[in-house]
Amino acid sequence: MYERRDAAIVTVGSELVEGLRVDTNTAQVARDISRFGFAVQEAVSVGDDVALLAETLARLASACALVIVTGGLGPTHDDVTRDAASAALGLPMHSDPRLVGFLEPFVARHAHPKSAERILSQALVLDGAEVLWPSTGTAAGQIVATPAGQIILLPGPPHEMRPMLTQALGRFTSQRAEARELGVTGWPESDVQHAAQSALESFEGIQLTILARPGDIRVLLLDEGAGEAELDRAAHAIAEKIGAACYSTDGSTLADTVIREASARGLTIATAESCTGGMVAAALTDVAGASQAFLGGAVTYSNASKTRLLDVSPADLTRHGAVSREVAAAMARGAKEHFSADVCVSVTGIAGPSGGTADKPVGTVWFGVLSSARDGMETQELVTWTGASREAIRARATARALDLVRREVIGA
Amino acid sequence: MYERRDAAIVTVGSELVEGLRVDTNTAQVARDISRFGFAVQEAVSVGDDVALLAETLARLASACALVIVTGGLGPTHDDVTRDAASAALGLPMHSDPRLVGFLEPFVARHAHPKSAERILSQALVLDGAEVLWPSTGTAAGQIVATPAGQIILLPGPPHEMRPMLTQALGRFTSQRAEARELGVTGWPESDVQHAAQSALESFEGIQLTILARPGDIRVLLLDEGAGEAELDRAAHAIAEKIGAACYSTDGSTLADTVIREASARGLTIATAESCTGGMVAAALTDVAGASQAFLGGAVTYSNASKTRLLDVSPADLTRHGAVSREVAAAMARGAKEHFSADVCVSVTGIAGPSGGTADKPVGTVWFGVLSSARDGMETQELVTWTGASREAIRARATARALDLVRREVIGA
């Protein structure tokens, strides 16, 4: 069990308050710390203004058990977080000799003495702070005690921030609220919500949250007193209710699941993409260890490349068009021919914004699947996403292609 | 000319501070109001907590010429913005008869009297407020004078918020500020900053912001009194200083630039990817109209697929390894063979986390370029990104491959 404690998130950067970048760190940090019993009261973005940031940090540090600050730890003159935290907490800074040693090779690469000084500013640490070592990048994080709890300074780039946050949250383990995360694809958000709510009716002390992205819905269950065993039972009940559309109950992504399930069965995968233009392959290869199952793919954007690379007949392209059942089938067969994979998936569609016709509007996508695992079984599927943007059509088509492979692999 | 005036943005909703939704309204509102001379000092997200929201609004309303609030104007008990604004500004509310008339048809559809009461709560208006009529949805906005300027209450859903904000900003038309955005790839952030700062030394009234992502840096110039012609001259001076690494001065992405420059010259492109696994092709096809220049690509993740799809000789793979100058060259040649594109680029590397050796550590990436535009000129390039994550290595390799194509296309 855990109690919820007040937290605040501060994201630093003029690009945020000027609207030049959407802040995704706040949502990420809020989710991550919620698992350790922290409830965010307030999330603030401030520009690269040392006085305003110091004022904000002083206000929040005295009110919240945990303040997480992201951004402003780099080497440039815009990086004001160290100075602001020092002023807000009344703590002087010193140069950390280990960080200086770490930064010296970077200094050596820059001829300009002004650059050297700026780079070494990243070695400045608040008195009494614990240093969070950078796993990527050059900006170190810091944890400092405050009257109300602690403040954690983290770099802004998500790929630097995330591992450091995980490391910093290690200390709160004993208060960790357990969570379960399910992945669902192919269902509308409202249906997922309805199924999850009805499955949870017989459970108590579990908080439900639904997160929807194009083609991918995450169901989050947070332990608010139910206990781990009940949480597992609840996750199981929801997965059962949703059926095959629920692709994972352990937080894995759809691509993770495809690679893991295929690897476990010794099955190989190849892709043949037109409108998704490599996104299916890119999603699969985003998984470390993808080479266990993924052999490769063809991105055949032009008609000529469909013929040359995948042996799609020019007659089929002329008669049925590039976005057709016949061409989807031929693309999957071509992938099979070239990669000899157990499961081959093809995608051909009209992502827009132009290229649609009355017959085949923007959003029309044909998929083909060829599976040697089931005696060369071949299927094609047509989906039409009307009114969606190019970006959403490509994202949904990618998720659908991955899911077709998953279903083929697990035999669902 | 315009003067910059302090503004604040407040986004309301527990889903924001709990990390269940990424707040995109802040960036949108910040960009929209910056054109009217407002500089956002602070952007705050607060949950559906009337006391905390009232405290936040009171603090910001006394400090900023403009406070924009989005969310919390709907009919549910979670919608606390009207009550909080009333408390913060000490203004009582009254029921607006025109809004009541507008809402009555919605009331008629709901049998439950409690629903009726909640729906009609949307007709409550702060004394002295100007009503912003809803173009979509049922939530009206409000503009109220504050001691320091005004506060504008807007609904949360972006498609309701946006038109109402545009309507509200009509009153500020004369103060629009211009901006320029440059894209740079292949340089470290600190070098870009240094170059931009030194180029800007002879300019006044221009604010500089640098945004860095792996392999891609954006240089933003905001007019703070310089005027449009000076802004253009400044952008030109920075582009000149940075040289060929500056790929655009009009806000285009690297992939946009590649497709546009190639299309303009009638040149075609094909890709052969290993460690980037389709990301280069996906980036190119993200551009609407990519089919003008992009023919397709091969994603050859396994050695066998490099041989089968791209005719890379097994002997080269054995002798030099998949990550080598020879294989990068052979992959580019294979892409040329199959796609007959004018510019073919290949990428083969070790993205990690495993697979590195002392000889070829994680982060080692070979690129190959084959260009029929310059008499079949062939180049290979080796880059080693040490200490970077799988995600960062793949992102940087993607940017590098796109840039190699760009340089080949423009002859830089």
Each residue's pLDDT tens digit, A343-361: 999 999 999 989 899 999 9
Q: Does residue B70 share a domain with residue B122?
A: yes
Q: Report how far residue B402's alpha carbon sits from residue A298's, in angstroms, rounded to the nearest whole number.
A: 18
Domain boundary among A248, A280, A301: A248
Q: Does residue A352 share a domain with residue A244?
A: no
> In chain A, which residue's Cα lies nearest the Cα of B35?
A18
Does the beta-carbon distance from A281 to B278 stay under 8 Å?
yes
Q: How many domains does chain A have?
A: 3
pLDDT along chain B (412 residues), means of 10: 75 87 88 85 94 96 95 87 96 95 82 78 95 84 93 90 89 68 91 92 88 86 86 96 95 95 97 98 96 97 95 96 96 95 97 91 95 82 87 95 96 79
Domain boundary among A133, A156, A175: A175
Q: Does residue B264 share a domain with residue B286?
A: yes
Angle, CA of A73, A76 and A79, to the nearest 5° = 40
Domain boundary among A248, A275, A296: A248
Q: Does residue A169 share a domain with residue A195?
A: no
For residue A110, count other CB atoms closer than 10 A to its CB. 17
Residue A88 confidence (pLDDT): 96
> In chain A, which residue's Cα lies nearest the Cα of B30?
A19
Looking at this predicted complex, what is its ipTM? 0.79
Query: Which of A34, A279, A306 faces B278 most closely, judged by CB atoms?
Result: A279
A403 Cα to chain B: minimum distance (Å): 18
Each residue's pLDDT tens digit, A289-336: 999 999 999 999 999 999 999 999 999 999 999 999 999 999 999 999
Q: Are B99 and B140 in contact (CB under 8 A)?
A: yes
Q: Does residue A354 share a domain with residue A208?
A: no
The CATH number covering residue A219 comes to 3.30.70.2860
Each residue's pLDDT tens digit, A100-150: 999 888 888 765 777 788 889 999 999 999 999 987 778 899 999 998 999
Asked whether the predicted pLDDT for residue A2 surpasses 50, the reply is no
Q: Does residue B260 share a domain with residue B333?
A: yes
Residue A13: give the domain boundaries. 5-175
> Which residues touch B143 (CB under 8 Å, ≥6 apart)?
B129, B130, B132, B150, B151, B152, B153, B168
Residue B5 confidence (pLDDT): 86
Phi, psi of A269 (to 5 degrees): -130, 140
Q: Does residue A310 share a domain with residue A243?
A: no
Q: Does residue A405 share a domain with residue A268?
A: yes
Does the beta-carbon distance from B30 to A14 stay under 8 Å?
no
Does the beta-carbon distance from B339 to A308 stay under 8 Å?
yes
Residue B223 confidence (pLDDT): 81
A410 Cα to chain B: minimum distance (Å): 23
Q: Which of residues 312-331 of B touch A (CB under 8 A)?
A: none
Residue A176 confidence (pLDDT): 59
Looking at every residue in chain A, the average pLDDT score rounds to: 91
Does the beta-carbon distance from A118 to B190 stay under 8 Å?
yes
Angle, CA of A31, A37 and A43, to the nearest 5° = 50
Q: Report how far residue A258's alpha carbon sits from residue A242's, in angstroms, rounded to the nearest whole number.
A: 18
Q: Does residue B357 share a domain with residue B224?
A: no
Identify each DSSP E strand in A167-293 by its residue range.
179-184, 206-213, 216-223, 246-248, 269-273
How do beta strands A294-300 and A343-349 pair? unpaired
Considering only residues A24 and B92, tell me which one the structure prediction assigns the higher pLDDT: B92
Residue B134 confidence (pLDDT): 85
**Hey, is B57 helix, strand or coil?**
helix
Does the beta-carbon distance from B22 to A22 stay under 8 Å?
yes
- Range in A67-71, A76-80, B259-263 with the lowest mean pLDDT: A76-80
The CATH number covering residue B108 comes to 3.40.980.10
Residue B325 confidence (pLDDT): 95
Q: Does residue B276 share a domain with residue B195?
A: no
Does the beta-carbon distance from B212 to A157 stay under 8 Å?
yes
CA separation (Å) from B35 to B39, B69, B229, B300? 9, 18, 17, 47
Does the beta-carbon distance from B209 to A78 stay under 8 Å?
yes
How would you classify residue A251: left for phi > 0, otherwise alpha for psi between -120 and 50, otherwise beta?
left
Residue A1 confidence (pLDDT): 33
Q: Does residue B265 share a domain with residue B240?
A: no
Residue B2 confidence (pLDDT): 39
Q: Does residue A264 share a domain with residue A206?
A: no
A:B CB pairs within 8 Å = 286
The CATH number covering residue B320 comes to 3.90.950.20
Q: Report how far residue A405's alpha carbon sits from residue B348's, in angstroms, rounded to the nearest whole number.
A: 25
